[in-house]
Structure 1
Amino acid sequence: MNIWYICIFELRRILKIRSVVVNLFILPLLLIFILGTALSSAMGTGKETTPDTVRVGIVQSTEAVSSPVGEALAAFVASPEVAKMMKAQDLSSQDEAVDALKRGKLDFAVIMTTDMVQQWMAGETVKLQWILGKDNTLNYVGQTLFTGFTDGLNRQAAMAKVLGPETMKEIARQAGTESASGHSNIMVSSPGHSDQSYSASQYYAAAMLAMFMLYSGMTTINSLFTERDKKTLARLQAAPVGNGVIFAGKIAGNSLLAFMQAMIIVVMTNVLFGVEWGGHPWLVVLICVLITLASMTLGIIVALVSKNAASANALMQSIIIVMTFISGGFTPIALDIVQHISEFTVNHWALQSFLSMMLDASLHEIMNNILMLGVVCAVLAAAAAVLYRKVGYRYE
């Protein structure tokens, strides 16, 4: 019962601070509106678009053109299935391909060297070299098509090791034909239903919700340090209430604030901006609970390792901004190394959980993202518990 009293008092105290109300409730909605409106043309409106035919420049060495791999590539490009998605053009040099890409005459370019042909003839795994153009969607289509082509070559090369080198030429022709027919049903779309994608408003609603819920951890930091700085913690500890009860009550109050913030943002973005959060409302609630847990535990960790409120707030803000950035909360980042690092953050799994529901992905995929978010929260909770046992919350 004492925890409940402290919790309600803490919640009422925070809600009286106008700056907190503005930062936690009004600012997120404003940012979602601005980002969703400004970037709607760049990110899309939530409706799937069919990519244009990819204009591909092909650069081959003289030896490569007359080789079995060159013949396989010619058969692949000329196949009706691939021709629907790609318009190929032979070029004499890499410099010519780069110049055509810069001028917008090509969307994508591939390079086949003599070394690649020799590697394949020796039964080694090969990859085509390519140069990306200006359109990310067309780059993706080109990479998908030619990756399938080289996969077919490598698969047949592995078989040729058993059958002998005299079968390489015929196998190369089969690889080109199989690669072409294997891509007759290629579709570039987002995960989930094939007729649905997320809009800029949906993306930034999910990203900003996760970020501003973590900012609720800063209210926890300020609350914990305020009692110390005003020397009221000593008075609380003099009462017949344990330190753990005081600490738990303050955390519970801030947790309720964070959860209230999440529900208001979810409802208001749906009403004002038409953001669809998916068909699993209880899973949205579960994700918000986990983010609340992560926010509170992260705030506790930062508060317990910092000497004063200023340094704690600076550290907490830095952590939130870095996690939001590398998880793609400000703008999607395509670098593989950054994506791997982001998998250790709360924002990444929170964003992926929300987006998978927005795209009506399978329940298995959604639960997998939520499970990973829960694992990150469990690690933070364990770290917070260990620090609290060592440091504690007391006036010194």
Structure 2
Amino acid sequence: MAALSFQLCGKDAGSNARAGLVSTDHGTIETPIFMPVGTVGSVKAVSQQQLQTEVNAQIILGNTYHLYLRPGQQVLEAAGGLHRFMGWDRPILTDSGGYQVFSLAGNRKLTEEGALFQSHIDGSKHLFTPESVMDIQRSIGADIIMAFDECPPYPSDYSYAQKSMELTHRWLNRCFKRLEETPDKYGYTQNLFPIVQGSTYKDLRRASAEFVASKGAAGNAIGGLSVGEPEEMMYEHAAHCCEFLPADKPRYLMGVGTPWNILENISLGIDMFDCVMPTRNGRNAMLFTSKGVINIDNKKWEKDFSPIDDGIDNAFSQYYSKAYLRHLVKSKEILALTIASVHNLAFYLWLVKEARRHILAGDFTSWKNEQILLLKTRL
């Protein structure tokens, strides 16, 4: 089977935004793209059928840390990999688990070998190394697998950020070596994306981006942003990384973000995004719409029988009224979680599709500037 490839379809004249096609053995992805997060092999409150028909998701995420702990490699291998286990025939990307392990700061120990951590499920101890994380992702069977890295917290002092970045680079070499030593498990190609680190120091970010670019991977990721730093700082470092990452490979900004974060980063040259925000905020009554942000719990929506969002070309978001969804939220009905989550994801996918359309039409920058003002409005 073929390795992942990237085809550039068009560029925006007024920014670094670009439209492309990422081809994998499980299908082609139109970029820029947003990837719903399915941490444990499930996008919370949303079925796989809804992801395909209502959300129009082209690729989703799984997480190595969570899938390793439960259901575990044996179950995943017996099922024939995560695609078959969850009934999803489109591309999957797996996060290496680095972020989850390092968010357990009080329950983990970091060494040159890897990260020793305690399970959040039963307290049992486990060791993640670059080699074991590659093996686990082989068992999961994602089309795109992420390198094992350390995500330094914000803020980090320069010395810590530098040591962390250098450790991430040494681990990356071990990730590539392990993949070269092991075959794909399920008859299709798995593609490793390295991750740029360096915290909020431009010289470290450049050094990391240049090191990552030198590996010649099928695609590259930028990590360690959207971890608490101001938005403008995120944009500054994302743009800086893009200067040194190859233009003929897809660029993935991990864990970002709000709709306006996504549009701004598209303008900088980013192609791929993921974030738990649309589903997590949806479960907490926050809706992202083409006219602005709605807290559907507010009384002002009690008798508003207009569609959740009639500004996007999605029948699901036009089927239910704001008043009905508010009623479900107030009644603590489980269906409220599904409707809000499906709508928010459908909105995110509509937004990146519109961004792509405007890039190809040549008017992305002016459209983006108008959209961001709308999207930030609190209704």
Same fold judged by TM-score > 0.5?
A: no
TM-score category of the 2 structures, normalised to the smaller one: under 0.3
Greater helix share, structure number: 1
Greater strand share, structure number: 2
What is the TM-score of this pair, normalised by structure 2? 0.23
What is the TM-score of this pair, normalised by structure 1? 0.22
